[in-house]
Amino acid sequence: MKKMTKISIITLLTVLFISVFSVVVFAEGASGDPTGVKAATVNQITAQIAGKPTSSEITTQIAKNTLGVNYVWVLMTGMLIFFFQCGFAMVETGFCRSKNALHTMAMNFMVFVVGAIGYFLVGFAIQFGGVGGWASLGSGVATLNHEVSIAGWGIFGTKGLALASGGTYDVGVYALFFFQMVFMDTTCTIPTGSMAERVKFSVVVINSFFVSMIFYPLFGNWVWGGGWLAQLGVRAGLGHGVVDFAGSAVVHSMGGMMALAGAIVIGPRIGKFRKDGTAVAFPGHDIPMAIVGTIILFFCWFAFNAGSTTNATDLRLAVVATNTMIAGAVGGFTAMMYMWLRYGKPDPSMMCNGALAGLVAITAPCAFVNGISSFIIGIISGILVCISVRVFEDKFKIDDPVGAISVHCVNGVFGVLAVGLFADGTYGDGLNGIKGGVIGLFYGGGFKQLEAQLICVAVLIVWGFGLSYLFYKVLNKTMGLRVSAQVEIDGLDVPEMGMLAYPDFALNPDNIEISSSIKERMIHPKK
């Protein structure tokens, strides 16, 4: 009975406590603002007379709120784009052999820390120092107002050196720099894939400074900074001038052209081609890692493309993000089916590259095309990447360990041309100073926009490939691009990095005896 009494008392107290607690909680909840309706009132507007703002003060507050939302959008998408480095590092490392894993991974991080310095000191000013304004980021960007031109054609900017010159210590300028820096970094990363497993780490350091300070910013100025390619519409009547919404040309084609030049100058890996010219497969050591890297890149690509609106209130970003998803998915599916039907297996590595190819190809036209066009672009890019990988390797004997040339160069160029073919005229009013939407050949726009895009491709070949080839030739003559044959055979991790990626799985060389004759045959195989 005593036990029952104790239990009853405890139960009674528990019920009483819950009842009192519930009353207090519900009373507090009733006095709150769970819908947020009361939060935004006239009292939140900064005014000289509290609670009685003027129309001018209300307008100012609305403008500040809009800019604030835009800044959050630009900075958050920029942060996501930075995570590209993780995706690229995993894709490239997974496609390479284990003896070079640390070297490959380290290159992909190093290009960021080096590229950020070069772009901060010089590159940003060259690219955007004469842009003259950026409406979605506020009036402060107007301080970037000095463009060096020849006969009225913009060549490069000068304001914004180290984010300090010419009054550019401004929140809008800083937001623009933050967002654009991670785009430049993608271009820095791409050549590391085509030259992987034999390039010196020191060469990639120099290359990253070159890309961030000269190579990328100049071309970026011509397309995005108000330069001469963007002026082809206003000054030459070629559509809207060169149109590249998020970087098929500026980012991916430029990086792809550099990857092509680098692979040609540095030459193939030891043992890649037999005496008869046929290629030897060098399987990647961790394809699952490459798949995860591809998924990361796919996710970040939504920020890459949709973030390029730089305007959170531009509702077209829904079209941009959806087109990005469609083209990437269709590209991956098409490449998978192509390999499955032709070679009997779906080939996960080509499925990854197919998805990346679709993403690269849609990057320029993503804001100007509809879903059906995105689907078609994805199909074409998936086929292009499969065919071009074989052509570069079998016909031209170019060794590209990760397929960077086919993904970024070939499909980057296709993406540039896709604008002139598939743009449907529903978006782009006022772009590059031209009224009306961007419209391509297939939607009744004629050849004008396509002509501008073709000029862009020609410049990509001359500037992107030509300058890269010259740059690598000079480096090869002065310091050499590739490691020694012995280092390449042993693996670049220890000689270049001083440590192994996987020390627990490495054989101890002190316990291994390899005859000098075997070493000689490895370094100098018989012809």
| CATH number for the segment(s) 59-485 | 1.10.3430.10
CA angle, 409 then 411 then 415, to 5°: 115
- pLDDT at position 40, please? 61
CA contacts within 13 A on the Cβ side of 157: 34
Cα(364)–Cα(362) distance, integer angstroms: 6
- SS3 per residue for 158-208: CCCHHHCHHHCCCHHHHHHHHHHHHHHHHHHHHHHHHCCCCECHHHHHHHH
Pairing of strands 147-150, 153-157: antiparallel
- pLDDT at position 89, please? 98
Cα(56)–Cα(59) distance, integer angstroms: 5
- pLDDT at position 64, please? 84
Cα(246)–Cα(416) distance, integer angstroms: 11
Q: What's the length of the chain? A: 527
Cα(316)–Cα(473) distance, integer angstroms: 44
- pLDDT at position 39, please? 61
> Domain spans of the chain?
59-485, 486-523
- pLDDT at position 21, please? 59
Nearest-10 crossing angle of helices 201-210, 468-478: 140
pLDDT means over runs of 10, the chain (527 residues): 64 71 54 60 69 76 87 98 98 98 98 98 98 91 95 97 90 97 98 98 98 98 98 98 98 99 98 96 97 99 98 97 99 98 97 99 99 99 98 98 98 99 98 98 98 99 98 98 97 96 74 58 57
Cβ–Cβ < 8 Å for 438, 240: yes
- pLDDT at position 8, please? 73
Alpha helices in 240-370 (DSSP H): 254-266, 287-306, 317-343, 348-363
Cα(426)–Cα(128) distance, integer angstroms: 27
